[in-house]
Amino acid sequence: MKRRMIRALILAGITFIALLVFIALYIDETRRVQETYRRQYHTCLTKVTEDIDSYLNNDGDLDFRYTRIVSDMSCADSFAFLIDGPEEHKRVVTEVLTCVMKFPEQMRQKLPELKAAIEDMLAEYDKGYDEAAKIVASIDKKGH
């Protein structure tokens, strides 16, 4: 009986240690994945600012340049929902994407402001999200 009890305690100890190792590996992998998502999010936002610069400098076909802004903003929106962060920031990024897609005539006039807001987002300032929210609020959603 003592042997069985000792064997059961040793097996429980080994199982507990294995569980701790599994939890530590899971946490480490989750951290790495979040870093990858955050890096991709910043890459997409950087591309948006580059596309806005290209659009504002009248480099080539403006419709194509604006489509690239929409595409890169969509990419940033996708990664915003994958990273751990404030829900408010995710909502603002989604609203900016919606305005860029649905109201291109109005957003084309606000591209310099949007670029400044996105640069502040890239610098991880909360004011960048506040500026983007103000841009979204300034859009006439009825399309007039």
Mean pLDDT of 49-66: 87
Per-residue pLDDT reduced to its tens digit, 35-49: 999 999 999 999 999
> Distance between the two ends of the chain, CA-based, in angstroms?
85
Phi and psi at 80, nearest 5°, equal -60, -35
Whole-number pLDDT of residue 38: 93
pLDDT tier for residue 61 given thresholds of 50, 70 and 90: confident
> Buried b / exposed e across 71-108, counting CB within 10 Å, b at 16+?
ebbebbbebbeebeeeeebbebbbbbbebbeebeebbe
Entry pTM: 0.81
Q: What is the mean pLDDT of residues 7-29?
A: 95
